[in-house]
Amino acid sequence: MLLILVLSGCSNSTKTTDKSLSSIQVTDFRGKQIGFNRHPARIVCLIESALSGFYMLHAENNIVGVSSNIYEGDVFTQYAALDGRIKNKTLPAPGNWDFISIENVVALKPDLVVMWASQTESIETIEAKGIPVYAVMLASIADLYKEISDLGTITGTEKRADSLIQYTKTQVSAFSSSLKKTAVEKQKVYFMWSQGPLETSGTKSTVNELIELAGANNACTSPDEHIVVNLEKVIEWNPDVIVMWYDANKSPDDIMNLSGWNNINAVKNKRVYELPSAFMCDLWTLKFQYAVKLLHTWCYPSASNDINLDSEKSDMLKMLYGLKGKNIR
Amino acid sequence: MVLLCLFPIPVLLVSCFIGPSELASSKSIFEYFRHLLFNTDAENATNLLTVQSILIDVRLPRIILAFLVGGALSVSGSSLQAIFRNPLVSPYILGLSSGAAFGAALALAWAFLPVQLSAFIFGLVAVALSYVAAIKHKNLSIVSLILSGVIVTGIFTALLTVVQYLSDPFKLQSIVHWTMGNLHNASWKLLNASYIPILLGVIVLYLMRWRLNVLALGDEEARTSGVNPVREKIIVLIAATLASSAAVSVAGIIGLYGLIVPHMVRMMIGPDNRQGTIINFLFGGTFLLIIDDFSRTIAGFEIPIGVITMLIGAPFFLYLMKKTNIGWEN
């Protein structure tokens, strides 16, 4: 009797062991092929940026578990505006980018878990329990497009995924072509992560892509994705603009008052800016276009008079999240 | 002895010419000084301004801070080894490092206090807890003190783990970087905030240098020499904690430094604390400065000084240990 129950349970599964027979197939960022016979109805998404992707695809009803980071800090308000389950804190959060409760993940009976590829031990444990994992590792904007496209395939929203990608590409390219018309000297930008004023990103990073799309140059010439530099180097680079990643505990004034920074052009000319929200400027979502526009207006204020950032933001939210985007503040 | 006392001068001077910036090269610095002293015509005034900024605002505070931190950890370590009569003791033995790390993590995660102040306060709290826990019937046993230090270290390490568990990736990375020990955030502001407690602690330990020799003989011997061992030990404990807490609060945890350097000094000049105290300060400060010179120039990015201390200091210590006597008994 027990055997029959177990076998019948398996036959209802969306998973398939023979991937060649799967009608739905994607290759995750580990290069691993994942196949399904039908679209996963129960998805646990432990990556905040990927969760944003599911909301953009209008596939949020498939989500049965989220990252605990959703319930913390700045992003909670925005996700609460998108989903009543998050607002009422009824959507389970079995883990985050770092720690995962395998027991709680299994208890949600997911057809798929979306998590960071770096969480290798947890991935192994979850897969050993027969639950497929779509592992993510983003290093460029091209990776971001691939992620959205794959999530579209997984949830059966391929058309929506294509239109989202197309919209973003059009926005960015329209912006880039408008930049070419303005013949101004390229500004040098120093990007500052919230871990500390000397933590930045080099030329092989998403930050570098962001700076270049905004029509400026990255002050940090090292190729590293994340690097702790010496203040001597920052003084030597002498950036025109400093852009801080969102930090609830710091403001541009704190940076302008840092000892030893006063001779840097960006500080002397009070051109230190902070990205206003981790949710709105998330570089690992299609919202990176808003950060590009912000950066451009900070670098070239006189050439950006015709950019209305408020309407750009509300148009983007409406396009990306649909009607629910209007509720996001 | 004289050589050891003069050792810091050339190292301090040479350190001013060492750094990752190509713009502030030795040639540019010489040109800057020439311009400053003889008011010569500068070829490129903007460059000289940058050189001045790098030299005065970045290198100089870092050089002085590295020297003070190294000296404080070293002299505190040697004094504590003397009063505990134990060669394995370091300034971190009473929970200072884990308390300070917890304080720094709390401030990094929730920003309720400046990081350095929080690290300093919690470092002191940890040592005070170890001390209070060890007192029994108004007696202070060294074994109880070391044991309570181990337990308090465990408690603060567990609390640190809780803060790390609750932190987002950005904050967690900041906490981990802090615990690695580094001087890359050195500035005049940090120096101003730390030099008074460091120097105060070091001066008290220097004034206690005679008594340290007596205390190192044991309580009975100290009493027969007219020294009150309990009172004197508490004074040494407070001074060492003050200096090392201030050092840890600005530089993070520089592992094993306060253990290794006192042994190096003993290998060089013997166990006499009368000379040992000042030599520990001068040699400890200079050695950390040399390590920091490596830390800021060896690669295009900052290598945490705690890592370099281990990679350079530990093999050098093992080499000295093989070549000479450990210098504790003799």
Predicted confidence band of residue B78 (pLDDT cuts 50, 70, 90)? very high
- Could you tell me if A310 and A318 are in contact, meaning their C-beta atoms sit under 8 angstroms apart? no
Residues B99 and B221 occupy one common structural domain = yes
Mean pLDDT value of segment B68-73: 96
Q: For residue range B47-56, list pLDDT tens digits in order.
A: 778 888 888 8
Q: Is a pLDDT exceeding 90 seen at residue B88? A: no
With 0-12 CB in 10 A as exposed, 13-18 as middle and 19+ as buried, what is A166? exposed
Chain B residues closer than 8 Å to A260 by CB: 53, 57-58, 61, 187-188
> CA triplet B197, B198, B199: central angle to 5 degrees?
95
Domain with B243, as residue range(s), is 88-250
**pLDDT given for residue A311 in this prediction:** 87
Which pTM value belongs to this model? 0.80
Domain end point (choices B225, B250, B275): B250
The H or E element containing residue B245 is: helix B229-251
Predicted confidence band of residue B231 (pLDDT cuts 50, 70, 90)? confident
The answer to whether residue B101 sits within a structural domain is yes
**pLDDT given for residue B315 in this prediction:** 84
The answer to whether residue B76 sits within a structural domain is no
Q: Which of A222, A245, A259 sits opposite B188 (nearest CB)?
A: A259
With 0-12 CB in 10 A as exposed, 13-18 as middle and 19+ as buried, what is A45? buried
Residues B240 and B311 occupy one common structural domain = no
Binary contact (A196, B185; C-beta < 8 A): yes
Q: Which residues lie closer than 8 Å to A9 by C-beta, 6 or more apart?
A: none
The H or E element containing residue B106 is: helix B96-110
Residues B109 and B230 occupy one common structural domain = yes
Domain end point (choices B250, B280, B298): B250
Binary contact (A230, B168; C-beta < 8 A): no
What is the total count of domains within chain B?
A: 2
The answer to whether residue B258 sits within a structural domain is yes
Q: Which of A97, A222, A232 sits opposite B21 (nearest CB)?
A: A232
Q: Is a pLDDT exceeding 90 seen at residue A259? A: no
Residues B233 and B148 occupy one common structural domain = yes
The answer to whether residue B6 sits within a structural domain is no
The answer to whether residue B187 sits within a structural domain is yes
Q: Is a pLDDT exceeding 80 seen at residue A279? A: yes
Q: State the nearest Cα–Cα gap between A229 and chain B, in angstroms.
A: 5
Residues B128 and B197 occupy one common structural domain = yes
Cβ–Cβ contact A72 with B under 8 A: yes
Give me the amino acid identity at B84. F
Percent of chain A with pLDDT over 70: 91
- Could you tell me if A191 and A220 are in contact, meaning their C-beta atoms sit under 8 angstroms apart? yes
B positions 288-317 inside 8 Å of A (CB): 296, 300-302
Which CATH number goes with the domain that contains B197? 1.10.3470.10
Domain end point (choices B194, B227, B250): B250
The answer to whether residue B289 sits within a structural domain is yes
B positions 132-171 inside 8 Å of A (CB): 165, 168-171
**CA torsion angle B116 B117 B121 B122 (round to 10):** -40
The answer to whether residue B70 sits within a structural domain is no
